[in-house]
Amino acid sequence: MKSNVLLYLMITGILLGIFCGWIFGETMLAVGWLGDMFLDSLKMLVVPLIISSMIVGISGLGDIRKVGKTGLITLVYFMATTGIAVSIGLVMVNFLQPGASVEMTADKIPENVSGKEAIGLTDILQSFVSPNLIHSMAQMEILPLIVFSLVFGAVLTTLGEPGKQAIGFFDTVNTAIMKIVHLIMYFAPIGVFALIASKLGAAGGGDLFLAELAKIGKYAWTVILALLIHGVLILPAILYLATGRNPLHYFKNLTPALTTAFSTASSSATLPVTIECAEENNQVSRKASLFVLPLGATVNMNGTALYEAVAVMFIAQMLGVEMGFAEQMIVLITATLAGIGAAGIPEAGLVTMVMVLQAVGLPLEGIGMLLSIDWFLDRCRTTLNVWGDSVGAAVVDTLEEKWVEKGEGA
């Protein structure tokens, strides 16, 4: 399908989904299965895509020194943009004070969060390796798969001809999976329509959604405004300065991925589309997109980290807890780590928020206040997460070419 046609169809799908879910409410649950089918068909590709992408990505980067430099550029980009995102969130939440006039009423810890009290830095580090890769695949635990595939790909490059053949095999697997993504995208406009309409329907339609929004509206607006500042000003500026690309053009070409992120609330499920848009529409080199995007979908979450900082400060403001410079520095660091630790699945950010709350001694019950609207804010932050990853792919692509390849040649 021509990318422009797909773009318009997907935007139409989103708008129609909002319209139908808003007006017809729960009736739209009837189309939920169509959305689930779209989501499942993307998820079906994630495990083979991650494994083959990382193997082809790392072997495409060349010898171990080049891999190290490219890895370093990627890491610096991830950490810097996440740090900037959290700082924007903190400035906005201090400025707008969304929690100052809200009374905390929720008193129970949400189910998916309770029992996570012990989450901390060591848990995040431990999640990098898995004792059982098959189990990780079945559970869609992406981080250990990435670590394994990176090591596996790196080792293959040291094995001479047989190693090359094995890499060739994974290269073909990757190309085949991307062809399947292409086919699934024909179904995407209907898929995003059904996902949005049924989700808004499940939330009770437009009127109920507005009522929920009104309760903690200022908080939601603070999150959205901060996400917009990062997504519309900071990331495009980085893209332009680092690569000279036209941010509007780059954004437009990514629309299928961004609309998929908004409708699925999952960076991981969106990954196949993100890679397709980066490579085909935006001509990011294959080795950069295959290396940066799977990593980014799992560890680079600008939107999630920003959201967690705003949410934790909102809870503190509701409780009347004074948060000084030192406490906010702790929020900055832990929210950045929590963004890294969050899986690319819906509402993962709520779970890793436990770490940030604990670091500054706030009660977990505060999360209960955020639940009613989280399904919506999750979609907004996931869209920024995917936008951040995609800008990262272009930045790493350009810098890798400038610094690593030219540096080697000199």
Catalog residues that contact ligand ASP under the rule CB under 6 A.
Answer: 265-267, 301, 304, 342, 344-349, 378, 381-382, 385
Task: Give Cα 62 distance to the centre of its chain.
Answer: 27
Q: Using the minimum distance from each CB to ligand ASP, give the nearer residue, 343 or 399.
A: 343
Cα–Cα distance, 277 to 284 (Å, whole number): 9
List Cβ neighbours of 88 (8 Å cut-off, separation of 6 or more): 226, 229, 230, 234, 306
39, two tokens: 């989501």
Q: Using the minimum distance from each CB to ligand ASP, give the nearer residue, 304 or 398.
A: 304
195, two tokens: 């996902």
Q: Give least dist CB 383 to ligand ASP, A.
A: 9
**By beta-carbon distance, which residue lies closest to ligand ASP?**
349
Cα–Cα distance, 167 to 396 (Å, whole number): 22
Q: Using the minimum distance from each CB to ligand ASP, give the nearer residue, 156 or 305.
A: 305
How crowded is residue 323: how many other Cβ atoms within 10 Å of its Cβ? 18
Q: Using the minimum distance from each CB to ligand ASP, give the nearer residue, 311 or 360.
A: 311
Q: Give least dist CB 322 to ligand ASP, A.
A: 27
Q: Give least dist CB 83 to ligand ASP, A.
A: 17
Cα–Cα distance, 21 to 94 (Å, whole number): 34
Q: Yes or no: say if 90 and 244 are a contact pair by the CB < 8 Å rule.
A: no
Q: Give least dist CB 342 to ligand ASP, A.
A: 5
Q: Using the minimum distance from each CB to ligand ASP, give the nearer residue, 67 or 373.
A: 373
Q: Give least dist CB 12 to ligand ASP, A.
A: 24
108, two tokens: 């129970």
Q: Please, what's the b/e burial string for 94-106 (b: 16 or more CB within 10 A of its CB; e: otherwise)?
A: eebebbeebebee
Q: Using the minimum distance from each CB to ligand ASP, give the nearer residue, 47 or 166.
A: 47
Q: Using the minimum distance from each CB to ligand ASP, give the nearer residue, 327 or 378.
A: 378
Cα–Cα distance, 267 to 269 (Å, whole number): 6
Cα–Cα distance, 133 to 152 (Å, whole number): 13
Q: Give least dist CB 348 to ligand ASP, A.
A: 4
Cα–Cα distance, 162 to 156 (Å, whole number): 8
Q: Give least dist CB 402 to ligand ASP, A.
A: 29
